[in-house]
Amino acid sequence: MRRQYRYLLADDVDEFPAILADFCRLLLEAGIPALLTFNPSGAARLGLGADPESWKPLAGGCTITHCGPVGLGAPWGESVVSYVTDPSFNCPPVAEFSRLQAISRARLLRLVTETVHALVKDGTSPEEIAIIAPGLDAIASYALPQILASSSIAVRLLSDPRPLFGSPQVRALLTLLQLKYQDEDTQLTIDDVTEMLAVLLPDLDLVRAGLLTTVCFVPHRPQLLPYEVHPQWYRLSYRGTQAYKELQEWLAAQARQVNPLLFLDRAIQRFLRPQNLPHADVSQLQTLLETAQSHWQLGYRLGWAEPEILNRFVSLIHQGTVAANPLMGDRPLPKPSPWQVFSSTAAIASPTDFSFGSILVPTYGRKGGVLCSMGHPCSSGHGMAVLGWHPAVPLGNPTAAITPL
């Protein structure tokens, strides 16, 4: 390690275990330059592996630079949390914050998007606005992009905690993978194959796909029969039958010796890329490929046979172990995608601890932002959202906004 690496960079070491502190100490003693960041108020993973005390002795041999509070997190973080968690807390009105209140969750979503549109209309640059929504569920994560898309505003969902198996595209690819690399342990149902056909073949709707698989799918040693064996194949439409036939031919053309990773990539290029999927779906497919690559590398090192690696991978995805959260730190936002929806449950208590299911933290962004709770309505029947924006106040970076938690 000392010969291979010239520098050591570590962010938020207060979240790291003690064994990594010993590792960093060895590198520092070897004369390797290092840059470490430590948050005295952090340690959100304390009790889950974090050991900030083990890192403090390293400060004696380092040049320490204290970073001052950035953005609105430091002055207003505690007040915002108190306002959310304590109904009796009286928060004085300030120019940097305004409150949105609605009697229903649907109305709250609409108010947030309307406020966003008003900010853009007033001259705020869209890429400088972020929506922070702790505990964002599937309904809100779908509704927000759809409402904003009606105004030609693209939305990128970051830190998506939902499992990959919740994506129909991922499930379809796993079914196709099992059809190609089947063995005695392969278990596919008619519903699995029906969904696969409907997702991969836009010319074949769900109803016709169900009619087709009822007759043309053989569950034992899974395989797809020609559509002509269906007694009423004429009901499947010409375009649907041709798409199904092309899928069969493509599947047969893929050699058995083709690596499953290459097979997945080819399937995405052949069936999903022409559909111009939204960025959220593309990110999930990217995560699937990254996870598959890591899993196969691990399987090879452990000496697993190819069928065992495949079965373990499918089981891993089915169990919801992998979340749809690809590494995106060095990937620039595509144009146009100025909006960022942040969904994270890290360092946030369970929804039952709060009246409406989420903690609100100060807004961040370079010039403006929207901060909202997408949890359940509070006991009084009112859902709440907080909008924080002021054109003259630089609001800092995401880390500063989350720090108070």
Tell me, yes or no, whether 277 and 223 share the same domain. Answer: yes
The pLDDT tens digits of the residues spanning 89-119 come to 777 777 777 778 888 888 888 888 888 888 8
Residue 126 lies in a domain: yes
Range of the domain at 173: 167-282
- Pick the closest to residue 356 from 101, 89, 76, 73 (CA basis): 101
Residue 27 lies in a domain: yes
Residue 54 lies in a domain: yes
Residue 25 lies in a domain: yes
Tell me, yes or no, whether 14 and 106 share the same domain. Answer: no
Q: Where are the alpha helices (DSSP H) in 43-187?
A: 73-85, 105-121, 138-149, 168-180
Tell me, yes or no, whether 122 and 183 share the same domain. Answer: no
Strands (E), 277-325: none
Tell me, yes or no, whether 157 and 78 share the same domain. Answer: yes
Residue 293 lies in a domain: no
What the block records as the tokens of 143 is 């509704």
For residue 139, give the CATH number of its domain: 3.40.50
Tell me, yes or no, whether 41 and 100 share the same domain. Answer: no
Query: In angstroms, how far apart are the furthest CA atoms of the chain?
Result: 81
Listed in sequence order, the residues at least 6 apart from 104 whose beta carbon sits closer than 8 Å to its beta carbon are: 377, 383
- Looking at residue 323, what is its pLDDT? 66
CA–CA gap between residue 236 and residue 222 (Å, rounded) = 21
pTM: 0.56
Tell me, yes or no, whether 177 and 276 share the same domain. Answer: yes
Tell me, yes or no, whether 225 and 268 share the same domain. Answer: yes
Residue 318 lies in a domain: no
Tell me, yes or no, whether 133 and 193 share the same domain. Answer: no
Characterize 13-41 residue by residue with b for buried, 16 or more Cβ atoms within 10 angstroms of its Cβ, and e for exposed.
bbbbeeebbeebeebbeeeeeeebebbee
* CA quadruple 270, 276, 281, 284: dihedral, nearest 10: 40
- Looking at residue 69, what is its pLDDT? 64
Domain tally, the chain: 3
What the block records as the tokens of 255 is 């050699």
Tell me, yes or no, whether 80 and 151 share the same domain. Answer: yes
Listed in sequence order, the residues at least 6 apart from 312 whose beta carbon sits closer than 8 Å to its beta carbon are: 295, 299, 304
CA–CA gap between residue 134 and residue 341 (Å, rounded) = 10
Residue 33 lies in a domain: yes
Tell me, yes or no, whether 124 and 174 share the same domain. Answer: no
Tell me, yes or no, whether 81 and 134 share the same domain. Answer: yes
Tell me, yes or no, whether 277 and 173 share the same domain. Answer: yes
Domain-ending residue, one of 282, 311, 346: 282
Residue 304 lies in a domain: no
Tens-level pLDDT at each residue, the chain (405 residues)? 777 778 888 888 888 888 988 988 888 888 889 898 888 877 777 777 888 888 888 888 888 888 766 666 677 777 777 877 777 777 777 777 777 888 888 888 888 888 888 888 888 777 877 888 877 777 888 788 888 878 777 777 776 667 888 889 999 999 999 998 887 677 888 999 999 999 999 998 898 898 888 888 888 888 888 888 888 877 888 888 899 999 999 998 987 778 899 999 999 999 999 998 887 788 889 889 999 999 999 999 999 998 899 999 999 898 887 765 544 443 444 443 333 333 332 222 223 222 222 323 333 333 333 343 333 333 333 333 333 333 333 333 333 222 222
Q: Give Cα separations from 9 to 5, 191, 358, 384 (angstroms).
A: 11, 48, 33, 40
Q: Give Cα separations from 242 to 9, 213, 231, 352 (angstroms).
A: 55, 15, 17, 52
- Looking at residue 292, what is its pLDDT? 92
φ, ψ at 85 (rounded to 5°): -90, -25
Domain-ending residue, one of 282, 302, 317: 282
Domain-ending residue, one of 282, 312, 336: 282
Q: How many residues does the chain have?
A: 405
